[in-house]
């Protein structure tokens, strides 16, 4: 149970709020780069700020405040130029650092004012990495953008999946440090959703949590497993400040504002050996629906099941009314880490896991207990591996609503024939 004041500290993300200031010290994933392939400008809202994200005609990404310097028109309806974004109302042109570089009528009517230094609009640096766009919204100098090791892996089919979640980000991120929910929400509930009543899945017998530079690892032993199990030896990663890493995929719970979260996930599947070298020219991005045709939350996929827990806790979970139990050690630890880091940032220090050394940022290894991660299989081994087989022979079960063209590209990349897809091996 937390006081209302502490709950407030954990959940308010706007500028000037302690959590808002803390989160602004990290590079934050804000979109899939391919979201700007066709529409070159789109509105986004991150940490309570309304912004326009764009890719200009020279391919450079930019992120600026949504209202024009001139008379506040909506720059997400602007159009891109070779350099920067032009407002559609009177044509003022802004570059990626927020400077106004052209005022067409003023430049003509008062040529002497051309080049005059005007106030800048708010602008944030954006970097593309592994098909994701990361933005930095904090004070300069920005830390390095960490290139987590999986982003350097070759021969993979990657995809970016997003979902709009109507609740506060922190209750989503607490789930990244909660191993026991897996037994109930994903195992026991899934069986019942399929209309079966097959008893209960293997119980969690022990859980443990260790802190490392970039987050926590959580570890578990379930009935039937032993201390040599990779999920006990290595575990899974709660990644600072809003990420979760499971070996072949990342999930981030990105605060849109106090009551909304953008879920961004990055999935990697190594193609079979026979199909290597494989180069993916563009990483597809797609939005996953979370509401079914009956108006209820979609419950058939793992992440969607998690989302049901998160939104069920309320727009902003009222932690003054909760009653924590023995499975919540990770929840307590993650809160403490955030309180400590908010204080550190307020005192002028860098929070946990920020990297200032470019050499270190080039490749940041993360622990993984996933035996499939970064491993090449032959085509036959691949099709017989239960993890990959599920992705080939069923609908991609991690997220609902994968577009047909993404699925087709994935099946082609891994060499799955229509027959295998229909009948299995
Ligand atoms: S409002 Fe943007 S140019 Fe006038
Ligand atoms: Fe989960």
Which of these, 236, 267, 271, lies nearest to 249 by C-alpha position? 267
Which protein residue's CA is at the shortest distance from atom 3 of ligand 1?
90
Question: Whole-angstrom Cα distance, residue 99 to residue 236?
Answer: 43
pLDDT tens column, 259-279: 999 999 999 999 999 999 999
> Where is average pLDDT lowest: 65-74, 137-146, 367-376, 392-401?
392-401
- Residue 161 to residues 186, 303, 417: CA-CA distances in angstroms? 20, 11, 24
pLDDT tens column, 86-132: 999 999 999 999 999 999 999 999 988 887 889 999 999 999 999 99
Q: Where in the chain is the domain with CATH 2.102.10.10?
A: 27-136
CA of residue 110 to ligand 1 center, whole Å: 17
Instruction: Considering every ligand atom shown, identify the ligand nearest to the alpha carbon of residue 94 and give its number.
Output: 1
Give pLDDT, residue 394.
64
CATH top-level class of 149-423: alpha beta
Contact 139, 229 (CB under 8 A): no
- The pLDDT-based confidence of 404 (bands split at 50, 70, 90) is confident
Instruction: Considering every ligand atom shown, identify the ligand nearest to the alpha carbon of residue 70 and give its number.
Output: 1
Residue 7 CB-density burial (10 A; 0-12 exposed, 13-18 middle, 19+ buried)? buried
| Ligand 1, pocket-test mutation among 64, 67, 71, most atoms within 8 A of CB | 71
Q: Where in the chain is the domain with CATH 3.90.380?
A: 149-423
CA of residue 78 to ligand 1 center, whole Å: 10
Domain 27-136 sits in CATH at: 2.102.10.10
| Ligand 1, pocket-test mutation among 41, 66, 76, 87, most atoms within 8 A of CB | 87
CA of residue 122 to ligand 1 center, whole Å: 15
Task: List all residues 6 or more positions away from 326 whose beta carbon is below 8 Å from its beta carbon.
Answer: none
Q: Determine the average pLDDT of the residues in 343-366.
A: 97
- The pLDDT-based confidence of 424 (bands split at 50, 70, 90) is low
CA of residue 187 to ligand 2 center, whole Å: 10
Tokens describing residue 415: 């060499």
Residue with tokens 């200032």: 356
Residue with tokens 């070759």: 154
> Which residues are 55's β-sheet partners?
61
CA of residue 103 to ligand 1 center, whole Å: 9
- The pLDDT-based confidence of 43 (bands split at 50, 70, 90) is very high
Give pLDDT, residue 422.
65
Task: List all residues 6 or more positions away from 406 whose beta carbon is below 8 Å from its beta carbon.
Answer: 159, 284, 286
Q: Which atom of ligand 1 is nearest to the CA of 92?
A: 3
pLDDT at 371 over 80: no
- Residue 73 to residues 51, 52, 103, 155: CA-CA distances in angstroms? 12, 12, 14, 44
CA of residue 118 to ligand 1 center, whole Å: 14
Give pLDDT, residue 419.
62
Which of these, 321, 61, 329, 23, lies nearest to 170 by C-alpha position? 23
Give pLDDT, residue 398.
58
Question: Whole-angstrom Cα distance, residue 161 to residue 267?
Answer: 8
Residue with tokens 């302690």: 18
User: Packing angle between helix 329-346 and helix 4-11, nearest 10 degrees?
Assistant: 70
Contact 181, 309 (CB under 8 A): yes
Question: Whole-angstrom Cα distance, residue 255 to residue 370?
Answer: 28
Question: Whole-angstrom Cα distance, residue 236 to residue 367?
Answer: 7
Which protein residue's CA is at the shortest distance from atom 4 of ligand 1?
90
Which protein residue's CA is at the shortest distance from atom 1 of ligand 1?
71
Q: What is the mean pLDDT of the chain?
A: 93
Q: Which atom of ligand 1 is nearest to the CA of 71?
A: 1
Question: Whole-angstrom Cα distance, residue 136 to residue 125?
Answer: 6
Cβ < 6 Å from ligand 1: which residues? 68, 70-71, 73, 87, 89-92
Give pLDDT, residue 226.
87
Give pLDDT, residue 6.
97
How do strand 100-102 and strand 123-124 relate by DSSP bridges?
unpaired
Question: Whole-angstrom Cα distance, residue 54 to residue 81?
Answer: 10
Question: Whole-angstrom Cα distance, residue 368 to residue 203?
Answer: 22
pLDDT: is 226 or 4 the higher one?
4
Instruction: Considering every ligand atom shown, identify the ligand nearest to the alpha carbon of residue 103 and give its number.
Output: 1
Tokens describing residue 63: 């992120």
Give pLDDT, residue 383.
83
Instruction: Considering every ligand atom shown, identify the ligand nearest to the alpha carbon of residue 302 and give its number.
Output: 2
Residue 326: cis peptide before it, omega within 30 degrees of 0: no
CA of residue 176 to ligand 2 center, whole Å: 8
CA of residue 309 to ligand 2 center, whole Å: 9
Which of these, 400, 163, 167, 134, lies nearest to 263 by C-alpha position? 163
CA of residue 31 to ligand 2 center, whole Å: 22
pLDDT tens column, 288-336: 999 999 999 999 888 999 999 999 999 999 999 999 999 999 999 999 9
| Ligand 1, pocket-test mutation among 70, 79, 106, most atoms within 8 A of CB | 70
> Which residues are 291's β-sheet partners?
297
Instruction: Considering every ligand atom shown, identify the ligand nearest to the alpha carbon of residue 87 and give its number.
Output: 1
- Residue 147 to residues 47, 230, 305, 335, 354: CA-CA distances in angstroms? 23, 24, 29, 26, 12
Q: Which atom of ligand 1 is nearest to the CA of 87?
A: 2
Give pLDDT, residue 392.
79
């Amino acid at each position: 149970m937390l006081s209302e004041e502490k709950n407030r500290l954990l959940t308010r993300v706007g500028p000037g709020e302690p959590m808002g200031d803390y989160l602004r010290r990290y590079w934050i994933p804000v979109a899939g780069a391919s979201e700007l392939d066709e529409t070159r400008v789109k509105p986004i809202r991150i940490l309570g700020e309304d912004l326009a994200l764009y890719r200009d005609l020279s391919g450079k990404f930019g992120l600026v405040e949504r209202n024009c310097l001139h008379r506040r028109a909506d720059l997400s309806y602007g159009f891109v130029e070779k350099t920067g974004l032009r407002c559609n109302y009177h044509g003022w042109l802004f570059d990626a650092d927020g400077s106004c570089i052209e005022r067409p009528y003023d430049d003509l009517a008062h040529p002497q004012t051309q080049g005059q230094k005007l106030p800048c609009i708010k602008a944030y640096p954006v970097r593309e990495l592994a098909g994701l766009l990361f933005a930095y919204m904090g004070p300069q100098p920005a830390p390095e953008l960490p290139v987590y090791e999986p982003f350097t892996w070759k021969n993979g089919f990657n995809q970016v999946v997003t979902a709009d979640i109507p609740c506060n980000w922190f209750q989503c991120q607490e789930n990244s440090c909660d191993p026991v929910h897996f037994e109930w929400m994903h195992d026991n509930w899934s069986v019942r959703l399929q209309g079966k009543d097959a008893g209960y899945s293997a119980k969690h017998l022990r859980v443990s949590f260790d802190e490392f530079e970039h987050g926590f690892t959580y570890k578990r032993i379930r009935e039937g497993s032993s201390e040599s199990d990779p999920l006990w030896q290595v575990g899974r990663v709660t990644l600072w400040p809003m990420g979760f890493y499971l070996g072949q995929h990342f999930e981030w719970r990105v605060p849109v504002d106090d009551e909304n979260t953008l879920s961004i996930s990055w999935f990697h599947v190594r193609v079979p050996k026979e199909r290597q070298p494989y180069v993916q020219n563009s990483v597809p991005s797609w939005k996953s629906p979370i509401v079914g045709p009956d108006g209820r939350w979609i419950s058939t996929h793992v992440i969607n099941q998690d989302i049901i827990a998160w939104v069920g806790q309320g727009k902003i979970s009222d932690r003054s009314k909760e009653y924590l139990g023995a499975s919540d050690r990770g929840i307590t630890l993650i809160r403490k880490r955030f309180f400590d880091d908010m204080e550190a940032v307020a005192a002028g220090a860098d929070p946990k896991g920020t990297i200032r050394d470019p050499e270190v940022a080039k490749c940041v290894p993360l622990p993984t207990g996933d035996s499939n991660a970064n491993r090449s299989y032959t085509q036959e081994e691949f099709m017989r591996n239960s993890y990959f087989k599920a992705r080939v022979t069923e609908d991609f079960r991690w997220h609902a609503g994968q577009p047909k063209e993404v699925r087709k590209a994935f099946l082609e990349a891994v060499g799955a024939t229509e027959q295998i897809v229909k009948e299995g091996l």
